[in-house]
Chains A and B, each alone.
Chain A
Amino acid sequence: MRKKMIPWLFLAPSLSGVMVFMGIPFLDVVRRSFLNAMGTTFLGWDNYRAVWNNEAFRLAAGNTLHFLAVCIPALMAVSLGLALILSGMAKGGGGYGVIRTTMVLPMAVPAASMVLVWKIFLCPEGVFNQFLSGITGQRWEIDWAFSGYAFPMLLMTYLWKHTGYDMILWLAGLGTIPGELYEAARMDGAGSLAQLRYITLPQLHGTFCLTGILSVVNSFRVYREAYLLAGSYPDSSIYMIPHLFAHWFLNLDIQKMTAAAVMVTAAFLLPTAVLWIWRKGKA
Chain B
Amino acid sequence: MKGILKKYGAWLAVAGLMASLLGGCQLGGKGTENHTAQASRESETGKEKNGQEAKEGSKEQEAKGRYRETLVDLPGEAEDQFVLQFLKGEGGRLELYTTEKDSQGNDTAVYQYVYEDGTWTKTEDWQGTAAAAEHRLELFCVEYGSDGAYYIGGVDKEDYRYHLLRLEEDGSATKLLEEVFAPREGSTYGMTPPKFQVLDDGNFLLYDYSEADIYDSTGKRLTAMTRDFSGYDRDSRGFCEGGEFVTFLDGSVVRYDRKTGKIMETIVCDEVKGGRDGAEILFGDGEGGIYLATEVGLSHVNRGGTMWEVLIDGNLNRMGMRSLSMRGFLEGDEGDFYGVYAGDLGKGIQICHYEYDPDMAAVPPSVLTVYSLEDHSTVRQAASQFQSEHPDIWVEVRTAAEDGQSVTEEMIQGLNTELLSGKGADILILDGLPAASYIEKGVLLDLKDIAAELESSGDMFNNILEGFKEEDGSVHMLPTRMGFPLILGGEKAVSAYSSLKDMTDYQGEKPLIPTDNYGNLLRLVATLQYKELFAEGKGMADRDTLIRYLESVKTLGDAGGSKTVFSQDEMEVNWVSNHVAPTGITGRSVLYDAGRSDSGVEFMDGYTSLLIPAEVRNRNPESKMAAAGDIYIPSSIAGINRSTANADMAKEFIRCLLSYEVQREELYDGLPVNKKALETIVETDRPYSEGVGWGDGYHISAPYPSLEVRREVAAMMDGLTVPVMLDETVMNMVTEGSQNYFDGKESVEQAAEGILRKLSIYLAE
The chain A residues found within 8 Å of chain B, CB to CB, are: 36-40, 54-56, 59, 97, 141, 146, 232-233, 236, 239, 244, 246-254
B419 proximal to A (CB < 8 A): yes
Q: Which of B441, B760, B764 contacts A252 (CB 8 A)?
A: B441
The 8 A-B pairs with the shortest beta carbon distances in the complex, nearest first, are A55-B764, A56-B764, A251-B437, A56-B765, A37-B441, A252-B441, A233-B758, A252-B437
* Contact across chains for B443 and A38 when beta carbons are under 8 A apart: yes
Q: Is the interface of B mostly helix, strand, loop or mixed?
A: helix
- Identity of the chain A residue whose Cβ is nearest the Cβ of B759 in the assembled complex: A233
**Residue of B at shortest CB range from A234?**
B758
Known interface pairs A40-B442, A252-B437, A252-B441; 11 further A-B residue pairs with C-beta atoms within 8 A, sorted by A's residue number: A37-B420, A38-B441, A38-B442, A54-B765, A55-B764, A232-B409, A233-B733, A236-B758, A250-B413, A250-B416, A252-B434
A232 CB contacts on chain B under 8 angstroms: 409, 729
Which residues of B sit under 8 angstroms from A248, Cβ to Cβ? 765
In the bound complex, residues from chain A placing their C-beta under 8 Å from that of B438 are 252
Chain A residues within 8 Å of B732, by CB: 233
Complex contacts, A250 vs chain B, CB 8 Å: 409, 412-413, 416, 434, 437
Closest to B438 in A: A252
The answer to whether B765 and A253 touch across the interface, beta carbons within 8 angstroms, is: yes
Task: Provide the bound-state CA to CA distance between A38 and B418, in Å.
Answer: 11
- B: contact size bracket: 20 to 34
A63-B420 Cα distance, complex, nearest whole Å:
29
User: In the complex the two chains form, is B409's CB within 8 Å of A244's CB?
Assistant: no
Interchain CB contact under 8 A, B409 and A246: yes
CA distance A36 to B733 in the complex (A): 29
* Minimal Cβ-Cβ distance residue in A for B643: A38
Contact: A244 with B420, CB < 8 Å?
Answer: no
In the bound assembly, the distance between CA atoms of A40 and B443 in angstroms comes to 11
Q: With A232-B409, A233-B733 known to touch, is A252 a contact of B419 (CB < 8 Å)? A: yes
A91 to chain B, nearest CB (A): 13
Task: Mark out the residues of chain B between 386 and 428 whose CB falls within 8 Å of any chain A CB in the assembled complex.
Answer: 409, 412-413, 416, 419-420, 422
Between-chain CB contacts (< 8 Å), 18 pairs: A37-B420, A38-B420, A38-B442, A39-B420, A55-B760, A56-B761, A97-B6, A141-B745, A236-B761, A246-B409, A247-B765, A249-B413, A249-B416, A250-B409, A250-B416, A252-B419, A252-B434, A252-B443
B762 in the interface, Cβ–Cβ < 8 Å?
yes
Cβ of B262 < 8 Å from any Cβ of A? Answer: no
Given contacts A38-B443, A59-B761, A254 and B412 within 8 Å (CB-CB):
no
A56 to B762, CA, bound (A): 8
Which residues from A are CB-within-8-Å of B729?
232-233
**Are A244 and B416 in contact, CB atoms less than 8 angstroms apart?**
no
Choose among B6, B437, B764 the residue that contacts A54 (Cβ–Cβ < 8 A). Answer: B764
In the complex, chain B residues whose CB is within 8 Å of the CB of A244? 765
A59 to B2, CA, bound (A): 53
Residue B757 CB within 8 A of the other chain: yes
Interface membership of chain B positions 697-734, coded 1 if the CB is closer than 8 angstroms to chain A and 0 otherwise: 00000000000000000000000000000000100110
Kindly list chain B residues whose C-beta atoms are within 8 Å of the C-beta of A254. 420
Set of chain B residues within 8 Å of A39, measured between Cβ atoms: 420, 422
Contacting residues, chain A, for B441 (C-beta < 8 A): 36-38, 252
Q: Is B765's CB under 8 angstroms from A252's CB?
A: no
Give Cα distance in the complex from A252 to B758, angstroms.
Answer: 20
On whether the beta carbons of A236 and B764 are closer than 8 Å, the reply is no
Q: How far is the CA of A40 from the CA of B642 in the complex (A)?
A: 13
Which residues of chain B from 5 to 55 have any CB-CB distance to chain A below 8 Å in the complex?
Answer: 6
Are B443's CB and A233's CB within 8 A?
A: no
Assembly CA distance A239 to B758 (angstroms): 10
Q: Who on chain A is nearest to B419 by CB?
A: A252
Min C-beta distance of B648 to chain A, whole Å = 22
- Report the Cα distance A195→B764, complex, angstroms: 53
Residues in A neighbouring B733, C-beta threshold 8 A: 233
Q: Mark B120-158, 1 if CB is under 8 A from A, else 0.
A: 000000000000000000000000000000000000000
A55, A97, A233, A244 — which one has the most chain B CB atoms within 10 A of its CB?
A: A233
Question: Of B412, B416, B443, B765, which is in contact with the most chain A CB atoms at under 10 Å from its CB?
Answer: B765
Q: Please, how many angstroms separate the alpha-carbon atoms of A244 and B760 in the complex?
A: 13
Cα distance A37–B417 when bound, in Å?
Answer: 12
Q: Report chain B residues within 8 Å CB of A251.
A: 434, 437, 765
Q: How far in angstroms is the closest Cβ of chain A from B113?
A: 56
With A and B bound together, what is the CA distance between A260 and B765 in angstroms?
12
Please give me the residue from chain A that is nearest to B745 by CB atom: A141
CA distance A256 to B295 in the complex (A): 45
Q: How far is the CB of A124 from chain B (nearest CB, A)?
A: 10
Q: In the complex, which residue of chain B has the Cβ closest to the Cβ of A40?
A: B442
On chain A, the residues within 8 Å of B757 by CB distance are 236
The distance in angstroms between the C-alpha atoms of A250 and B415, with both chains bound, is 9
B516 vs chain A, min Cβ distance (A): 22
A54 to B760, CA, bound (A): 12
Shortest CB distance B503–A (Å) = 29
Residue interface mask B441-476, A partner, CB < 8 A = 1 = 111000000000000000000000000000000000
Closest CB in chain A relative to B731 CB, distance in Å: 12
A97 to B7, CA, bound (A): 13
Most buried by A among B2, B438, B443, B764: B764
Give the distance to chain A from B558, nearest Cβ to Cβ, in Å. 21
Q: How far is the CA of A65 from the CA of B2 in the complex (A)?
A: 46
Are the C-beta atoms of B762 and A252 separated by less than 8 Å?
A: no
Identity of the chain B residue whose Cβ is nearest the Cβ of A236 in the assembled complex: B757
CA A232 to CA B733, docked complex, whole Å: 10
Residue of B nearest to A60 (CB): B761
CA A239 to CA B762, docked complex, whole Å: 11
The docked-state distance in angstroms from the alpha carbon of A98 to that of B762 is 47
B348 to chain A, nearest CB (A): 44
Q: How far is the CA of A244 from the CA of B761 in the complex (A)?
A: 9
A40 to B437 Cα, complex, angstroms: 16
Chain A residues with CB under 8 Å of B3's CB are 97
| Nearest A-chain residue to B760, judged by Cβ | A55
A16 to B422, CA, bound (A): 27
Residues of B within 8 A of A40 (CB): 442
Distance, CA A25 to CA B3, complexed state (A): 46
Q: How far is the CB of B3 from chain A (nearest CB, A)?
A: 8
Question: Which B residues are in CB contact (< 8 Å) with A141?
Answer: 745
Residues in A whose Cβ lies below 8 Å from that of B434: 250-252
Measured in the bound complex, the distance between the Cα atoms of B728 and A233 in whole Å is 12
Shortest distance in angstroms between B541's beta carbon and chain A's nearest beta carbon?
13
- C-alpha gap A226/B421 in the complex (Å): 29
Q: Which residues of A contact B409 (CB under 8 A)?
A: 232, 246, 250
B4, chain A: closest CB distance, angstroms: 13
Q: Please give me the residue from chain B that is nearest to A54 by CB atom.
A: B764
Cβ distance B487 to chain A, nearest Cβ, rounded Å: 33
Task: Give every chain A residue within 8 A of B765 (Cβ-Cβ).
Answer: 54, 56, 244, 247-248, 251, 253
> How far, in angstroms, from A39 to B443 measured CA to CA in the complex?
11
CA distance A108 to B443 in the complex (A): 41
CB contacts (< 8 Å) of B419 on chain A: these are 252
> What chain B residues lie within 8 Å of A54 (beta carbons)?
764-765
Cα A247 to Cα B437 with chains together (Å): 12
CB distance from B727 to the nearest CB of A (A): 12
Do B761 and A233 touch (CB < 8 A)? Answer: yes
